[in-house]
């Protein structure tokens, strides 16, 4: 319990070694604390103590010459790793996010999230006003879910689709991965205006098949799709808002269309512990939650959908809920 209570030290420690680019400096060869201190303009003894702390948690390793080396944990923090969670870690160590945690007791007491207490506004209202928060959030979402697109592409057959609408699709990584693997499919990336204006699809061939559309999914979503995707978005929203979003998707899709919801499930097993960490973020910052499959059946039934299939994804405790 004492160790668990000191989690903020681990968070800041990992954040610090990312900012110092220690994983990149160890990519080619082991190095001593003295060498790393010289390369990073750091205090040698302090850096040595931090690295030994992280070594005790298998984030680094140390050899007989007292040289530090990468482990699988720190290797994913290299800047050249396409699935690196670096931006997610940096985002969660932002001072303004730590300020949110100071409201946790009030959250439990009142049921109102930290943004309600601090800003008297909802999270996305704050993001629309504070662009630096929104940019950090979008980078973090891209970072933490970087392994998800390929896993979704491998788990579901998209080749029969004509038009895929990615609702709340963020920076477009998932939709781009789907369109890249399915050359005859077109897509619409739909999100808030301040998100869409930051999107750039580098591959021109994919860009010609992907329209960028901004709007408010609580009011409507782009019509005409035969597959609608909502990936780790609905966990941010209340049941009432989820039903509104789902009904908007149902009203917009063509006859016989499908809805794919990509979410973690709440489960009491130890295998789902990451999903419960995410649920605590939802509790702290949103009106939503990580839901059980039973809760999803109720929400979808209330919105005019029936669950057709559940497809587990081998990353981030996620599942694809296929509804019709």
Dihedral of CA 211/214/215/218: which sign?
positive
Question: Do 279 and 172 reside in the same domain of the chain?
Answer: yes
User: What letter would DSSP give residue 234?
Assistant: G
Among 32, 53, 75, the domain-final residue is: 75
What does the pLDDT profile of the chain (324 residues) look like in tens digits?
Answer: 999 899 999 999 999 999 999 999 999 999 999 999 999 999 999 999 999 999 999 999 999 999 999 999 999 999 999 889 999 999 999 999 999 999 999 999 999 999 999 999 989 899 889 989 988 988 898 888 888 999 999 999 999 999 999 999 988 999 999 999 999 999 999 999 988 988 999 999 999 999 999 999 999 999 999 999 999 999 999 999 999 999 999 999 999 999 999 998 887 665 667 888 899 999 999 999 999 999 999 999 999 999 999 998 877 778 999 999
Question: Do 70 and 189 reside in the same domain of the chain?
Answer: no
246 within some domain: yes
CATH of residue 10's domain is: 1.10.10.10
How far is the C-alpha of 39 from the C-alpha of 28, rounded, in Å?
14
**Residue in this structure with the two tokens 């968070």, named with its chain if needed:** 11
- The predicted structure's pLDDT at residue 244: 98
Q: Are 274 and 266 in contact (CB under 8 A)?
A: no
Count of domains forming the chain:
3
**Contacting residues for 311 by C-beta, under 8 A, at least 6 apart:** 155, 156, 319, 320, 322
Question: Do 67 and 213 reside in the same domain of the chain?
Answer: no
- DSSP labels, 273-319: HHHHHHHHHHHHHSS-----HHHHHHHHHHTT--EEEEEE-SSTTEE
Question: Do 114 and 179 reside in the same domain of the chain?
Answer: no
159 within some domain: yes
Among 142, 157, 190, the domain-final residue is: 142
Question: Do 198 and 293 reside in the same domain of the chain?
Answer: yes
Question: Do 138 and 231 reside in the same domain of the chain?
Answer: no
Question: Do 295 and 189 reside in the same domain of the chain?
Answer: yes
Question: Do 61 and 117 reside in the same domain of the chain?
Answer: no
The torsion angles phi and psi of 225, rounded to 5 degrees, stand at -80, 150
Q: 122-142: per-residue pLDDT in tens?
A: 898 998 899 899 889 888 988
* Pairing relationship of beta strands 67-70 and 258-264 according to DSSP bridges: unpaired
80 within some domain: no
28 within some domain: yes
Range of the domain at 201: 145-323
Question: Do 266 and 151 reside in the same domain of the chain?
Answer: yes
Q: 64-95: per-residue pLDDT in tens?
A: 999 999 999 999 999 999 889 999 999 999 99
300 within some domain: yes
Q: Are 58 and 71 in contact (CB under 8 A)?
A: yes
Question: Do 149 and 120 reside in the same domain of the chain?
Answer: no
- The predicted structure's pLDDT at residue 269: 62
Question: Do 295 and 187 reside in the same domain of the chain?
Answer: yes
Secondary structure (H, E, C), 190-232: EECHHHHCCCCCCCHHHHHCEEEEECCCCCCCCCCCCEEEEEC
- The predicted structure's pLDDT at residue 62: 97
197 within some domain: yes
- The SS3 call for residue 22 is helix
Question: Do 166 and 259 reside in the same domain of the chain?
Answer: yes
257 within some domain: yes
Q: Are 190 and 169 in contact (CB under 8 A)?
A: yes
How far is the C-alpha of 233 from the C-alpha of 155, rounded, in Å?
19
How far is the C-alpha of 238 from the C-alpha of 169, rounded, in Å?
19
How far is the C-alpha of 37 from the C-alpha of 60, rounded, in Å?
16
CATH of residue 271's domain is: 3.40.50.150
Alpha helices (H) along the chain: 7-19, 22-25, 33-40, 44-55, 72-75, 86-92, 95-101, 104-110, 114-119, 123-129, 131-144, 148-155, 173-181, 193-196, 204-208, 239-252, 273-285, 293-302
Strand order of the β-sheet with 60-62 is 31-32, 67-70, 60-62
81 within some domain: no
- The predicted structure's pLDDT at residue 271: 62
């Amino acid at each position: 319990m004492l160790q668990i209570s000191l989690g903020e030290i681990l968070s800041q420690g990992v954040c610090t070694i990312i900012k110092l680019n220690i994983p990149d400096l160890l990519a080619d060869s082991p190095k001593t604390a003295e060498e790393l201190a010289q390369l990073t303009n750091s205090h040698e003894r302090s850096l040595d103590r931090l690295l030994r702390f992280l070594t005790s948690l298998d984030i680094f390793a140390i050899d007989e010459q007292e040289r530090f080396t990468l482990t699988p944990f720190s290797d994913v923090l290299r800047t050249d790793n396409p699935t690196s969670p670096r931006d997610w870690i940096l985002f969660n160590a932002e001072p303004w996010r730590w300020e949110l945690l100071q409201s946790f007791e009030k959250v439990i007491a009142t049921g109102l999230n930290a943004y309600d207490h601090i800003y008297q506004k909802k999270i996305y209202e704050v993001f629309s006003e504070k662009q630096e928060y929104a940019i950090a959030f979008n980078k973090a979402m891209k970072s933490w879910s970087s392994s998800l697109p390929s896993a979704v592409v491998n788990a579901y057959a998209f080749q029969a689709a004509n038009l895929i609408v990615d609702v709340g699709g963020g920076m477009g990584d998932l939709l781009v991965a789907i369109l890249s693997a399915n050359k005859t499919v077109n897509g619409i990336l739909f999100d808030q205006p301040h998100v869409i204006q930051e999107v750039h699809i580098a591959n021109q061939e994919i860009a010609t098949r992907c329209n960028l559309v901004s709007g408010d999914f609580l009011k409507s979503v782009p019509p005409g799709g035969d597959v609608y995707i909502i990936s780790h978005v609905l966990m941010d929203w209340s049941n009432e808002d989820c039903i509104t979003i789902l009904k908007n998707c149902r009203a917009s899709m063509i006859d016989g269309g499908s809805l794919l919801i990509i979410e973690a499930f709440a489960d009491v097993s130890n295998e789902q512990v990451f999903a419960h960490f995410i649920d605590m973020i939802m509790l702290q910052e949103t009106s939503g939650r990580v839901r059980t499959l039973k809760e999803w059946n109720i929400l979808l039934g209330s919105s005019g959908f029936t669950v057709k299939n559940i497809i587990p994804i081998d990353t981030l405790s996620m599942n694809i809920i296929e509804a019709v």
